């Protein structure tokens, strides 16, 4: 097996998430420039750029986003690549940047994630996102992702005798965390009663159980650990970067209570990092819906099956809990500009490990970011540490 170099994240940046007036390219440039300024390197040191985006061509009509973003940054002649893995596009872009440095093809690489969604009608956005379903089979049924996760919630309730009042605590926690986080779209606290009383979307999910359609961008700069040690700042070491694939269509899903891509990615990542789930201090996971946080937290090994909802209710996943999950506010409160989400998660983990987060977890030294696409068709898990 080829020996890979150790890699570190030396800079991160992101825009606010929400309803923004900037173009998708402008947002990507803003996030990228913030990441470059964060690590204080020169732009001409960047030797490769990867951009994660899912529905940019459908919603904005703009292709060649990686090339346009790179040229707008003043980067010329370097390889630039757009990657797409539905909602995991940002996580995949980061992994490609990490692998490019680890393999020695570049000393410095950048990952950017960007999405522009709010300027389009809701129906058009919903249809574009449904493109991550198999159009030959799932698409004909009229199923959407809220419908799919509604089925997940129904199955979870039936299997574990859980109730949506417990699951609603995911939203309560997320909104509480978002109050102090200026990048978040939804920053007002809510009660479980308000969550359950919001507009029905896909039984038993309510509107507040769903992440909001959003605009935004995030970025990260990576380099070799050897180079990072020579730079000023607070580099964060990559312990593991894993990508797996799972069921790309509903008929391939063996159980609505687990995502095989997540369980596989978690197992591989823990092995690669030489740790277990118990060693993780802070987590940013893919809570596209409230029930998704519950299932994901179990798949990642933080709780036994059927215990995730009660763990949230007990405060175990709060910022001051035993295993803080989504201290940023998560997708539910920060928003979910799909191509940017994976890198926004990493932004939060990096800030946590640097001791600079808005909702700082005490003594955080190991963090995990989990990004999931489609019906669990693709997944990335990234494990980071400040012990470099």
In a domain, residue 336? The reply is yes
Residues 372, 360 within the same domain: yes
Q: Residue 1 domain-assigned?
A: no
Task: Please indicate, yes or no, if residue 32 is contained in any of the structural domains.
Answer: yes
Please report where in the chains the tokens 């990686």 appear, as a residue.
66
Residues with catalytic function: 87, 336
Question: Structural domain tally of the chain?
Answer: 2
Pair (307, 288) in one structural domain: yes
The Cα angle at residue 273 between residues 35 and 292, in degrees rounded to 5: 70
Question: Domain residues for 233?
Answer: 7-121+214-237
Residue-level pLDDT at 40:
82
Distances (CA, A) of 66 to 96, 103, 114, 204, 335: 14, 21, 10, 39, 22
In this prediction, residue 259 carries a pLDDT of: 98
Residues 79 and 199 in one domain: no
Cα–Cα distance for residue pair 99/101, rounded to 1 Å:
5
The answer to whether residues 248 and 191 belong to one domain is: yes
Decide if 130 is inside a domain: no
* 115 and 54 part of one domain: yes
Longest dimension (CA), the chain: 58
> Are residues 94 and 36 part of one domain?
yes
Residue 19, domain member (yes or no): yes
Note whether residue 128 is domain-resident. Answer: no
Whether 131 maps to a domain, the answer reads: no
Residue that terminates a domain, selected from 185, 202, 237 = 237
- What is the pairing mode between strands 7-14 and 108-115? unpaired
The list of the chain residues with pLDDT below 70 reads 1
One domain for residues 205 and 229: no
Domain-embedded: residue 132: no
Residue 110: which CATH number? Answer: 3.40.47.10
Shared domain for 312 and 227, answered yes or no, is no
Does residue 70 share a domain with residue 26? Answer: yes
What residues contact 361, with CB distance under 8 A and at least 6 apart? 281, 282, 319, 324, 327, 352
25 and 162, same structural domain?
Answer: no
Listed residue (82, 47, 46, 50) closest to 64, CA to CA: 82
Q: What is the pLDDT of residue 2?
A: 73
State residue 1's pLDDT score.
59
Tell me: do 88 and 175 sit in the same domain: no
Residues 171 and 99 in one domain: no
């Amino acid at each position: 097996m080829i020996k890979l170099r150790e890699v570190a994240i030396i800079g991160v940046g992101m825009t606010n998430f929400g309803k923004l007036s900037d173009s998708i390219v402008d947002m990507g440039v803003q996030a990228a420039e913030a990441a470059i300024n964060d690590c204080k390197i020169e732009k001409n040191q960047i030797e490769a750029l990867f951009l994660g985006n899912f529905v940019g061509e459908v919603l904005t009509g703009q292709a060649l986003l990686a090339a346009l973003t790179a040229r707008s940054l003043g980067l010329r002649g370097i390889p630039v690549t757009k990657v797409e893995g539905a909602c995991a596009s940002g996580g995949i872009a980061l992994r490609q940047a990490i692998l490019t440095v680890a393999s020695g093809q570049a000393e410095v690489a950048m990952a950017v994630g960007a999405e522009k969604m709010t300027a389009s009608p809701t129906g058009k956005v919903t249809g574009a996102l449904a493109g991550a379903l198999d159009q030959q089979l799932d698409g004909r049924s009229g199923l959407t992702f809220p419908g799919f996760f509604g089925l997940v919630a129904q199955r979870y309730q039936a299997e574990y005798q859980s109730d949506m009042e417990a699951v609603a605590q995911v939203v309560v926690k997320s909104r509480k965390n978002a109050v102090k986080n200026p990048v978040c779209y939804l920053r007002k606290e809510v009660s479980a009663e308000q969550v359950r009383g919001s507009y029905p979307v896909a039984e038993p999910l309510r509107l507040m159980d769903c992440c909001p359609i959003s605009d935004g961008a995030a970025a990260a700069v990576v380099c070799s650990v050897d180079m990072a040690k020579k730079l000023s700042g607070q580099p964060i070491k990559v312990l593991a970067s894993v990508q797996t694939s799972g069921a790309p269509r509903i008929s391939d899903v063996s159980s609505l209570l687990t995502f095989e891509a997540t369980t596989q990615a978690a197992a591989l990542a823990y092995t690669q990092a030489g740790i277990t789930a118990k060693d993780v201090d802070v987590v940013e996971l893919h809570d596209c819906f409230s029930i998704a946080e519950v299932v994901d937290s179990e798949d990642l090994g933080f709780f036994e099956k059927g215990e995730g909802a009660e763990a949230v209710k007990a405060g175990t996943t709060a910022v001051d809990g035993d295993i803080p999950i989504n201290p940023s506010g998560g997708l539910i409160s920060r928003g979910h500009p799909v191509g940017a989400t994976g890198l926004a998660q990493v932004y939060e983990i990096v800030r946590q490990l640097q001791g600079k987060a808005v909702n700082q977890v005490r003594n955080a030294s190991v963090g995990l970011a989990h990004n999931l696409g489609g019906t669990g068709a693709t997944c990335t898990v990234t494990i980071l540490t400040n012990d470099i």
